[in-house]
Structure 1
Amino acid sequence: MDHLQRDAAARHGRQPGPERVSTPWLALLAGPLSYGISAPALVLDDLARAMGTGKEAAAAGVTAFGWGIALGTPLLAALLARRGVRAVLTVATALVVAGTVLLVLSSSVPVLVAGAAVQALGSAGLTVTAMKLAGSARRMGVVAASLAVVGATGPLTGALVTDSFSWQAALALPLLAVVAVPAARRGASPPDAVPASFDPLGTALLAMLVTAAVLTPHRPLVAGPATGALLLLLVVRTKVRPDGFPPAAVARNGRFLTACALAFGLAVANFAVLYAAPDLLREHAGWDGTLSGVVLLAPYLLGGFGSGFLVAASVRVPHRVVAAALLAAGAAAPLLAAVTTVVPLLLAAMALGSLAAATGQGVLALRAAGVVPASHEAEALGLFNLAYLLSVAFGPAIAVTLSL
């Protein structure tokens, strides 16, 4: 364990608050976010019929959810840093409930999109709060594993819930996280952060940057240059106002940015393989979508559960060794999936990608929080998760492009 990991462990060890919330509650607080990403995967046809529209239009809700979690993660992390856990839990719960109500009552695509975006904003706040409360490698491993396991089971769960109840019930699954909110509120320490002034310009620039980045895979000629320009403006903003949002101590920290870049790369590779998997299995094994969904549970559950143990064990290994192993595994997964036609090797590639991404999320989140000042840990976790979650926009787009 290098000195940064020791510093982070010591820092978290001095905080009494996180240990007051038991680990299963943290997993429940974070995990259901993944339902919003993966549960609609096998029910888009039902959505399209109910809305009287095409499948692509129905999928706009999934895109809106991805935008909402990407934007909501840093914004609610900033609220967490300024107002504390209980304030964020209140706001995030209200957003999840309001978004779910809109989704359940939706009868048109615009309402569906609005509901998914609002629900995602709240889900992002609950997840970043769970990570903040984790406070140790073991507990962070459980949080990361919960996200991966729920993501792996999401498509099948969504299909079963739709068959048993309705597609609205499948879209309401992220609401399960609210069950853990009372336990998190009881265990949270009073806020120890001094409220900072609001930075409307920095917040607006970040919101526009996230929106442009999410749209880049779909409108690259317009959104790509806009993303670059907004990124430059945000860099200038951190120089003009170092204490604004995002804070310069985080946004200009090279080690923090390296952790974010590696997490983004691992997640892009994993999502690219995940979204390419049904076509690959249909091509090489002749399996239909339902059978593929059942078979895919094995590699992705293996990756999810395995990541919990690997994150906990990572504190005993030098960070450079861990980072190199993650990079090697993350690169090997799409390469193996691209060159092999043997089904067991395809499944091995999927398990490897899932394991690398889920382990990387936990290990690198601890790293990202450990290399910044303690007063900026919440913002660091929010921005780190933003980098990780942006992969939801890029991974599937890459898989579709390569399949053409």
Structure 2
Amino acid sequence: MSLHVRQARLSALSLAVLAGPMSFGIAGPALILGEVADGLGVSPATATWLVTVFGWGIAVGTPLMSGLVGHRGVRATAALCGLLVLVGSALALVAPSFPLLLAGSAAQALGAAGLTGLAMHLADSPRRMGMATASLAVVGSVSPLVGSLVSDLLSWRVVLALPVVAVLAVPAVLGHARQEPSPGRFDATGAVVLTALVTALVFVPHQPVVAGIAAVVVAAAFALHLRRRPDGFVPAVLVRSPAFLGAAGLAFALAVGNFALIYALPARLTELTTWTSAQIGVAMVWPLLFGGGLSWFVVAASARMRPRLLIAVLVVAGFAAALTAAFTGWAFGLLAAQAAASIAAASGQGVLAVRATAAAPEEHRAAAIGLFNLCYLLGTAFGPAIVALLVSA
């Protein structure tokens, strides 16, 4: 399919607004899950499923919506994703039961993932890519505090609806993109198999044996389908590219560490200090904001730096953050670890995304962005789930 996008007229601010609000759904509930549990009469552990379902939605939605870009174009994808976010946010505000709230979270996540993927697809330089990925990190940095404040002032339901802000940028995309009809046939089987594989992987931390076996079985089916349709929903050239797989794998690892810390820190800081929930939210802003803000400069400058050295530095920073968080009993040491993890993950997403798409043929750029983001966003599902398992053990 041939896409003609007037990228230069779509401002960097529009890219940031399109991508950033997804972080409200990822990190916004970090300090209010107890209020959600009380409001709906469920246990705190059950309330954590909101985060897991949102993580599942963005993991599944990322490749699905990127595939839709390749099949139907930017405008159709933007319209559908905007509608999903609106419907999901409406359910967050009015759903009378927890299952309906989960359905709204899933719809919201599917749409938000697509809008974020569009922002990265439309980013035509490291600087603009850095704007999109840094917006995710910056919004994520203030999301726990914003969530706490909005919950106190309004309601926890409004917190869950905050990803709707991304819809404000949809008119700009609709006004500055046009597409030609796709001559190709959509690989529905490939999309279904990939969705099943992602679903099994998301549930691995919760049901290791059952979900692990399911993941192996679906992965085998995925491999067989890939041989039959090498240019299908998942292009075989990407799966067989060491550069692409390496970039996506590192992005996943950095995301797991970062999002695990975001959900582990409130409990750890409560144990080590006498800070209130609001004070903990304020304390967590500076390391996350510092990491997210600095990431824009790192990604923008990455074109002038030695890529292997830069990636090695980011990996070391992420590993050091995990070790520090695991062994320190000092509150400010934990906050420093969060800053390092935030820098590593946010910068890594932008730097590694550029590397991953450079390894893909131009006709598979949308698919490469989708699959790369899938790997990164799986970290948003694994990180909090791993923390919940460790807490309950």
Same-fold call, TM > 0.5? Answer: yes
Structure 2: which amino acid aligns with 1:148? A
1:144·1:361 contact (CA, 8 Å) conserved in 2? yes
Q: Name the CA distance, whole Å, in 1 between partners of 2:74 and 2:172.
A: 12
Could you say which residue in structure 2 is the equivalent of 1:174? 163
2:263·2:387 contact (CA, 8 Å) conserved in 1? yes
Q: Name the CA distance, whole Å, in 1 between partners of 2:207 and 2:222.
A: 21
Q: Name the CA distance, whole Å, in 2 between partners of 1:335 and 1:390.
A: 21
1:57·1:109 contact (CA, 8 Å) conserved in 2? no
Could you say which residue in structure 1 is the equivalent of 2:224? 236
Equivalent position SS for 1:35: helix
1:50·1:107 contact (CA, 8 Å) conserved in 2? no
Q: Name the CA distance, whole Å, in 2 between partners of 1:57 and 1:126.
A: 28
Residue 146 of structure 1 pairs with residue 135 of structure 2: yes
Q: What root-mean-square deviation, in Å, do the aligned CA atoms of Structure 1 and Structure 2 show?
A: 1.7
Q: Name the CA distance, whole Å, in 1 between partners of 2:276 and 2:228.
A: 55
1:202·1:245 contact (CA, 8 Å) conserved in 2? yes
Structure 2 CA distance for partners of 1:268 and 1:224, relative to 1, 3 Å: same
Could you say which residue in structure 2 is the equivalent of 1:218? 206
2:91·2:100 contact (CA, 8 Å) conserved in 1? yes
Residue 292 of structure 1 pairs with residue 263 of structure 2: no
Q: Name the CA distance, whole Å, in 2 between partners of 1:45 and 1:400.
A: 14
Equivalent position SS for 2:179: coil
Among all aligned residue pairs of Structure 1 and Structure 2, give the percentage whose two residues are the same amino acid: 49
Structure 1: which amino acid aligns with 2:187? D
The Cα shift of 1:16 comes to 6.6
The Cα shift of 1:346 comes to 2.1
Consecutive unaligned residues of structure 2, counting only runs of 5 or more, are none
Query: Residues 90-110 of structure 1: CA distance to partner in whole angstroms, max 9, x if unpaired?
Result: 111111111112222200011
Could you say which residue in structure 1 is the equivalent of 2:11? 22
The Cα shift of 1:57 comes to 2.5
Structure 2 CA distance for partners of 1:224 and 1:363, relative to 1, 3 Å: same
Q: Name the CA distance, whole Å, in 2 between partners of 1:176 and 1:152.
A: 16
1:100·1:115 contact (CA, 8 Å) conserved in 2? yes
The Cα shift of 1:192 comes to 5.8
Q: Name the CA distance, whole Å, in 2 between partners of 1:398 and 1:122.
A: 25
Could you say which residue in structure 1 is the equivalent of 2:248? 260
Could you say which residue in structure 2 is the equivalent of 1:388? 376
1:44·1:55 contact (CA, 8 Å) conserved in 2? yes
Equivalent position SS for 1:70: helix
Q: Name the CA distance, whole Å, in 1 between partners of 2:277 and 2:154.
A: 21
Shifted more, 47-56 versus 192-201: the winner is: 192-201
Give the length in aligned residue pairs: 389
Could you say which residue in structure 2 is the equivalent of 1:307? 295
Consecutive unaligned residues of structure 1, counting only runs of 5 or more, are 1-14
1:19·1:133 contact (CA, 8 Å) conserved in 2? no
* Match 2:322 to one of 316, 329, 334: 334
Q: Name the CA distance, whole Å, in 2 between partners of 1:311 and 1:357.
A: 11
- Give the alignment of 1:8-87 within 5 angstroms: 17-87=6-76
* Match 2:84 to one of 92, 95, 117: 95
TM-score by length of 1: 0.92
1:27·1:146 contact (CA, 8 Å) conserved in 2? yes
Query: Residues 323-369 of structure 1: CA distance to partner in whole angstroms, max 9, x if unpaired?
Result: 21111111111112222233332221110000000000111111111
TM-score by length of 2: 0.95
2:287·2:336 contact (CA, 8 Å) conserved in 1? yes
Structure 2: which amino acid aligns with 1:154? S
1:199·1:245 contact (CA, 8 Å) conserved in 2? yes
The Cα shift of 1:224 comes to 1.2
Q: Name the CA distance, whole Å, in 1 between partners of 2:225 and 2:300.
A: 37
Shifted more, 49-58 versus 256-265: the winner is: 49-58
Shifted more, 154-163 versus 24-33: the winner is: 154-163
